[in-house]
Homo-oligomer: A and B are copies of this chain.
């Protein structure tokens, strides 16, 4: 069966040959489970496997000498943790699970051979890597040039769009299993201030948030506050086969 979040994501913008989908699913047969808040890969590691999130949330992060943490990406189902290491020698940051997580471990060797064996899939993975980079740029814009209210609104818009891609949005609800502290570490804020901004978003009638589920009540209003333009997620249709 081809129920794989990465395939769902890739097929929102293009079509993959069946053999490639088959190959991708086959290669995800080594699944490991992690409980919440465990380091999956540490900075400096040289993993022999590429890790793909199948279920649950994880995060990329770095620590600065003062001990403060910056989360540089939320990894949701369909996201790779460390495609890098097919080219680079070692991890320059760490990955931690946020919730209990199922991760597919794919031998790096298999990934390295992909360009010869499955060129379409390779192009598709390039696409997802470049979208990840665009997301990172947008996070930098939030940290640098949006105020806290806009930044919180923006990340909610982004997560909504990204989760929709992998089929994890029902109506206007989706699971948001991150603590306010984790949100703060992603946005470069404090948990206390994130709390106040979320309250403001609720008071303004834009969102509803309870027990780890977010409901977007006024999608347009939220996007307006955030200055959210989804084109950086590159929803435009592509051809992976050339």
Contact = CB atoms under 8 A, between A and B. Distances in A.
Interface of A: 44, 60, 62, 64-66, 68-70, 72, 84, 87-90, 92-93, 115, 119, 122-123, 126-127, 130-134, 136-141, 143-146, 150, 185, 187-188, 227, 231-232, 234, 236, 238
Nearest to A235: B89
Contact of A87 (B127, B139, B145): B127
Contacts of A89: 234, 236, 238
A145 to B, nearest CB: 4
Given A88-B130, A90-B231, 15 more contacts: A64-B150, A65-B227, A72-B137, A84-B130, A84-B133, A88-B127, A88-B238, A89-B234, A92-B231, A115-B115, A132-B133, A133-B136, A143-B188, A144-B188, A145-B188
Contacts of A66: 145, 227
A107 to B, nearest CB: 15
B115 A119 contact: yes
A123 B122 CA distance: 13
